[in-house]
């Protein structure tokens, strides 16, 4: 685990890239020098009335320039304050936090990122609700798995194909197939749940937690 550093970061750029979504680049050479993929930082508000920092995942790190790139959505008064930051403003940051990992095989990140970019484009450019897009991803994974296409794709792409929701659909289909072979017709009702129980439990747990911490709203 890397040593945590708390330092005054200088804003190098801050811009809106979507509705209530901001791209923030901070110069924080100490943190940038130690950060790896999968970690996050805690950003403190300059308003002394807000004591708790806001955790934000690292979107990018430039070790040579000593900068951190953060992409976040306004979800309350703290992140709303960050959206008003201007170039050369300073903000206190602590990090790197979390158990990161060194980038080895980049294929999984490219494939997983591409699948997520498609979903984001559908959210931003169409009238489809996020719920319909998510169901579409799961259904696509089921259909591609049923015709034998998704498994070789997942074997090639690794976590880039199994972590997105298309991978959840693939897991459902695979679980049903195995359960039907073992238990017969009843497996069609139990196999999918058995194969994806871990993901379902995590979704319920973290979805409930986020609903308590923030204010969910429709698109």
* DSSP letter for each residue of 19-52: TTEEEEEEE-HHHHHH--BT-EEEE--SSTT--S
Domain boundary among 97, 131, 147: 97
> Same structural domain for residues 209 and 111?
yes
> Same structural domain for residues 207 and 149?
yes
Q: Using the predicted structure, report yes or no on whether residue 91 has a pLDDT greater than 70.
A: yes
Structural contact between residues 144 and 166, judged by C-beta atoms closer than 8 angstroms: yes
As a whole-number percent, the residues of the chain with pLDDT over 90 amount to 49
Q: Which helix (H) or strand (E) holds 91?
A: strand 90-97
pTM of the model: 0.55
> Same structural domain for residues 126 and 209?
yes
> Same structural domain for residues 88 and 14?
yes
Residue 123 lies in a domain: yes
Where would I find the H helices in 148-186?
Answer: 150-157, 159-162, 165-183
Instruction: List, for residues 124-137, the tens digit of each pLDDT value.
Output: 899 999 889 999 99
Range ranked top by mean pLDDT from 101-110, 131-140, 169-178, 208-217:
131-140
Instruction: List, for residues 162-210, the tens digit of each pLDDT value.
Output: 878 898 888 889 888 888 888 888 878 888 878 787 777 877 888 888 8
Residue 218 lies in a domain: no
CATH code: domain of residue 76: 2.40.30.10
Q: What is the pLDDT of residue 100?
A: 78
- Between residues 203 and 122, the one the model is more confident about: 122
Q: Is 117 exposed, middle or buried (0-12, 13-18, 19+ CB in 10 A)?
A: exposed
Q: How many domains does the chain have?
A: 2
Query: What range defines the domain where residue 11 resides?
Result: 5-97
Is the CA virtual torsion 188, 193, 194, 195 positive or negative? positive
């Amino acid at each position: 685990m890397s040593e945590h550093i708390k330092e005054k970061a200088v804003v190098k750029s801050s811009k809106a890239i979507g509705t209530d979504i901001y791209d923030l680049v901070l110069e924080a050479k100490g943190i940038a020098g130690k950060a790896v993929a999968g970690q996050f930082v805690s950003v403190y508000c300059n308003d002394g009335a807000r004591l708790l920092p806001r955790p934000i995942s690292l979107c990018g790190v430039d070790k040579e320039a000593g900068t951190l790139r953060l992409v976040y959505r306004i979800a309350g008064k703290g992140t709303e304050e960050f959206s008003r930051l201007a170039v050369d403003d300073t903000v206190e940051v602590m990090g790197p936090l979390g158990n990161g990992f060194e980038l080895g095989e980049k294929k999984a990140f490219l494939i997983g990122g591409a699948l997520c970019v498609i979903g984001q484009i559908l959210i931003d450019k169409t009238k489809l609700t996020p719920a319909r897009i998510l169901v579409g991803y799961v259904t696509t994974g089921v259909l591609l798995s049923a015709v034998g296409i998704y498994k070789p794709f997942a074997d090639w792409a690794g976590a880039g194909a199994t972590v997105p929701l298309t991978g959840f659909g693939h897991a459902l289909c695979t679980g049903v197939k195995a359960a039907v072979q073992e238990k017969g017709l009843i497996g069609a009702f139990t196999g999918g749940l058995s194969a994806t129980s871990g993901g379902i439990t995590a979704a319920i747990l973290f979805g409930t937690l986020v609903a308590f911490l923030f204010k969910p709203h429709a698109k």
